Amino acid sequence: MTPSTEDFHQMLLPHAGPLYQRALKLSRSPVAAEDLAQETIERALRHAARFAAGTNLRAWLFAILSNLYIDGCRRRTHELLTATGSPPEVAAPEAEGRPAWEHVSLGDVQALIPRLTPQSRKAMRTFVAGTRSYRELSGKLGIPMSTVGSRLWRARRQLRDLLEANSSSDGSDNHRAICPMHPGAHREDPR
């Protein structure tokens, strides 16, 4: 059962303030926020038959508001692209030097493996010896696969720290040397 237009209008009134506040947060402009809130209420009134009585009116209104905002952003981007005929020019990022890990040899890494903790050392030696899948490493080390990943991550982190310490004591500029054996080795601790 759909409420009458007058009843539905009365149900919308308490939500006008929160709609304006959300629109203001999204658009950062009082004028644009007022237009967005009005357009939301207008669309809600126009499509009142789609509203299922007994459901959350506030959530429905905020969904309409969000969709209108996103549509407006897309429209403005499209208009900008079609008006100029090409995407806006953006300054190119600064050219970066070669990654520090390119200067680290496998010999450098292998020389530091004995300085790792015993668990990390065992996992890293098995990995470097040619065992590439975590399933194989898990079987050889007798530990769960998730533990293999954790130990290798810790070993890479320790190797990176050792390589950084060596590079700073050498006076070289390799401030962020990382283990070249795994592309994700530079990530921060997820905990």
pLDDT, residue 33, reads 92
- Name the token pair of 150: 């954790």
What's this model's pTM, rounded to 2 decimal places? 0.43
pLDDT at 1 over 80: no
Q: What are the C-alpha distances in Å from 128 to residues 28, 116, 136?
A: 54, 14, 13
Distance in angstroms (rounded) separating the CA atoms of residues 160 and 163: 5
Q: Decide if 160 contacts 181 (C-beta within 8 A).
A: no
Considering the domain 5-84, what is its CATH architecture? Orthogonal Bundle (1.10)
Fold match between 5-84 and 100-170? no
What's the whole-number mean pLDDT along residues 77-101? 72
Which CATH number is associated with domain 100-170?
1.10.10.10
pLDDT, residue 180, reads 41
What is the residue extent of each domain of the chain? 5-84, 100-170
pLDDT at 178 over 80: no
Q: Decide if 19 contacts 65 (C-beta within 8 A).
A: yes
Percent of the chain with pLDDT over 70: 80
With bands split at pLDDT 50, 70 and 90, how would you rate the model's confidence at 163?
A: confident
Out of 2-6, 42-46, 75-79, the most confident range is 42-46
Distance of CA 138 to the CA centre of its chain: 30
pLDDT, residue 112, reads 86
